[in-house]
Amino acid sequence: MSTTTPVRPAPEDAHEAPPSAGGRRGPGGAVGGGLFDPGQLLRSLPDALRKLDPRVMVKSPVMFVVEVGSVVTTGLAIADPGDWFGWVITAWLWLTVLFANLAEAVAEGRGKAQADTLRRARTDAVARRLTGGAEGGSGTGSGSGAAPGDGAEETVAGTELRVGDLVVCEAGDIVPGDGDVVEGVASVDESAITGESAPVVRESGGDRSAVTGGTKVLSDRIVVRITTRPGETFIDRMISLVEGAARQKTPNEIALNILLASLTVIFLMAVVTLQPFAVYAGAEQSLVVLAALLVCLIPTTIGALLSAIGIAGMDRLVQRNVLATSGRAVEAAGDVSTLLLDKTGTITLGNRRAAAFVPVRGATAAETADAAQLSSLADETPEGRSVVVLAKEEYGLRERHQGELEHAEWVPFTAQTRMSGVDLDGVKVRKGAAGSVIAWVTERGGTVAEDARALAEEIAEAGGTPLLVAREDADGARVLGVIHLKDVVKDGMRERFTELRGMGIRTVMITGDNPLTAKAIAQEAGVDDFLAEATPEDKMALIKREQSGGRLVAMTGDGTNDAPALAQADVGVAMNTGTSAAKEAGNMVDLDSDPTKLIEIVEIGKQLLITRGALTTFSIANDVAKYFAIIPAMFAVAYPGLDTLNIMRLASPESAILSAVIFNALVIVALVPLALRGVRYRPSSADRLLRRNLAVYGLGGLVAPFVGIKLIDLLITLIPGVG
């Protein structure tokens, strides 16, 4: 319902937009550097060297085995200084470990760069704590019935604040801690958090009440109830998370680690038992060769990149201003099969717009448009503005000058009358709910066209909002027509939902509208289902029903009433503008407060899973090819028939083994950009993704070693004394 009471527009409508596609902005405006930024590599090198600590390496069984092999070959090389082959193998084994650590360190370093930006934003602010009505720290906020803003003030350090304290913030003040606005409205600079330079509005009593410690109040006065203890603020948690300190291995990552460890043990047993057979055949192998064989056969490629893939997945979210509280949430996003999306602001633009003026019998569209425009001139809501614009564009009606409206008496909208309008020069115009306007006309003995109610119901069934327009003049009161307000579906939403459907994801629109309106919007947007007149209990019931069928559910929310559903959902994305309860309940926070970003989050989660699967496939296929390089070279002297397996026609046993070890190290470096950037995601079904992975990364993993090892062998043969 439009109103005629001027409303101060919310600045965030204009600027709280998601980052542009492909943007690299993160918290605090941090921008990710290139994948091989020399400065980043140099800063990451000390971390990579520190990770050589066996206590750190043991967390990755595959690379721990490589490190042990490097130590063994180092000892053997020292014992036989003249063995060039042992020294070269040792050097490349250590490089293999270092490259693996460097991949992880670079991924972590990108997060640390963002954390440094956040640290600069964190300040030890001085707080103006209320001591009268607040009963400092009681958590009740207003003590014995006093208003939140009542009471004396005392100046304390921000570190002394406790949960429940009330603090006053005015223009120029730094918000001393996370909290909710309980009194007033103010413009706040949140650029330290979101990277957006334009201010946002925070006010009490709504879903835009949360403020973050370290942000700056630019205007007016607000009273904030503190909701977190010092050291546990949102910025503190962000710093911890983007640095990777709080990143725990996800269930899928743990399962893959167990698989890799099992393969490592199997190949270790195979290599250990290989030596007795070699001795029996008269082709005893050195420990250096056996170590090289083991390193080349175990899945070192995915073992080296596994951690970097997980860190990079969270980093991609941070670059889009989404903070995930755990890697588990990112993975869950990739496995989501049901998306719950709010209608307003997510599927639709959120501001209803005038779409048409529909006259009743006996009236004209021009009459209806003229009356509708006149009654909306003082209406500063988006709906009211759209009525004025539509009348001007469609019917050429100009806006009245201030002089023409000098004697106008504006009638504001109230919940009781459910109407608004204007009295001007003996003419009264009203617009509002159908029942209210018809009652107003009837009270004045006016005429109501027979089709007035039918037109209103027809618009409602089509998903619109009908506002009747009536006019009273010397000829009496009568209904002129209906304004059709339409909640406009965002461009491209139907296509996005079609893509999600192709990925096997079911979309459900949640709205407080009546079922008729909800059904019309759902059909226009192309969602699979809808939940009308939704209550918090209805949302919870829907989520539990979906989960009972084995499906993972994702949803967005910003209000306290969304908190239970956000906590129940497998992926709960809370808006940063929302209440503290919503942000605590969800496992992700969108700093841009853009509900449509949930679709991007799902795509990032799927990209993480696809990247991990693709590189695992590539790594295992690699090992098969390296087998054909090393095994024939080891036993060709004892069993000349094995030379037929030397399909790459490698120059010598030493060259074959050395080429395989060098390739094994270099392929890790070559795949680091892919691990950090992620495999490009294309919406498709699971079986199509599997076929693509096998065709591209499985076949590529088989072919690449044959080509790479042969090229390295050719280069080695050019070195005097080696070929």
Query: Taking CA 425 as the corner, what is the angle to CA 451 and CA 403, rounded to the nearest 5 degrees?
Result: 115
Residue 342 is among the residues annotated as catalytic for this protein: yes
CA dist., res. 476 & res. 446, Å (int)? 6
Closest to 357 measured CA to CA, from 383, 394, 382, 398: 394
CA dist., res. 397 & res. 652, Å (int)? 90
**In sequence order, which residues have a C-beta less than 8 Å from that of residue 496 and are 6 or more positions away?**
599
Q: Which helix (H) or strand (E) holds 98?
A: helix 84-121
Marked catalytic residue, from 180, 342, 513, 592? 342
pLDDT in tens, 324-382: 776 677 888 888 889 888 777 678 776 678 888 999 988 888 888 888 888 888 777 77
Residue 5, token pair as written in the block:
């009471």
- Measured between alpha carbons, how far is residue 555 from residues 251, 540, 588 in Å? 22, 11, 10
Residue 414 labelled as part of a binding site? yes
CA dist., res. 351 & res. 386, Å (int)? 10
CA dist., res. 542 & res. 565, Å (int)? 9
Query: H/E/C letters for each residue in 314-368?
Result: HHHHHHCCEEECCHHHHHHHHCCCEEEEECECCCECCCCEEEEEEECCCCCHHHH
For the chain, give the mean pLDDT.
Answer: 79
- Note the maximum CA span of the chain: 119
Q: Which helix (H) or strand (E) holds 567?
A: helix 563-568
CA dist., res. 220 & res. 172, Å (int)? 10
Residue 379 labelled as part of a binding site? yes
Residue 420 labelled as part of a binding site? yes
Q: Which residues of the chain have pLDDT under 70?
A: 1-40, 109-124, 132-151, 192-198, 206-207, 231-250, 326-327, 345, 350-351, 398-404, 415, 636-638, 684-686, 720-723
**Residue 259: other Cβ atoms inside 10 A:** 14
Residue 416 labelled as part of a binding site? yes
Residue 431 labelled as part of a binding site? yes
Q: What is residue 28's predicted lDDT score, i.e. its pLDDT?
A: 43
Residue 418 labelled as part of a binding site? yes
Cβ-count burial of 403 within 10 angstroms (0-12 exposed, 13-18 middle, 19+ buried)?
Answer: exposed
CA dist., res. 508 & res. 529, Å (int)? 5
Relative to beta strand 465-473, strand 476-486 is: antiparallel
CA dist., res. 622 & res. 705, Å (int)? 6
Closest to 65 measured CA to CA, from 267, 233, 200, 242: 267
140 SS3 class: coil
- Measured between alpha carbons, how far is residue 183 from residues 137, 150, 206, 584 in Å? 17, 11, 11, 22
Q: What is residue 665's predicted lDDT score, i.e. its pLDDT?
A: 92
Q: What is residue 318's predicted lDDT score, i.e. its pLDDT?
A: 77
CA dist., res. 310 & res. 609, Å (int)? 9
Q: Which helix (H) or strand (E) holds 313?
A: helix 300-319
Residue 616 labelled as part of a binding site? no
**Residue 277: other Cβ atoms inside 10 A:** 12
Closest to 304 measured CA to CA, from 36, 34, 665: 665
What ranges make up the beta strands (E) of 360-493?
Answer: 409-411, 419-424, 427-432, 465-473, 476-486
Relative to beta strand 571-575, strand 553-557 is: parallel
638 SS3 class: coil
Residue 144 labelled as part of a binding site? no
Q: What is residue 135's predicted lDDT score, i.e. its pLDDT?
A: 42
CA 211, 215, 217, 222 dihedral sign is: positive
151 SS3 class: coil
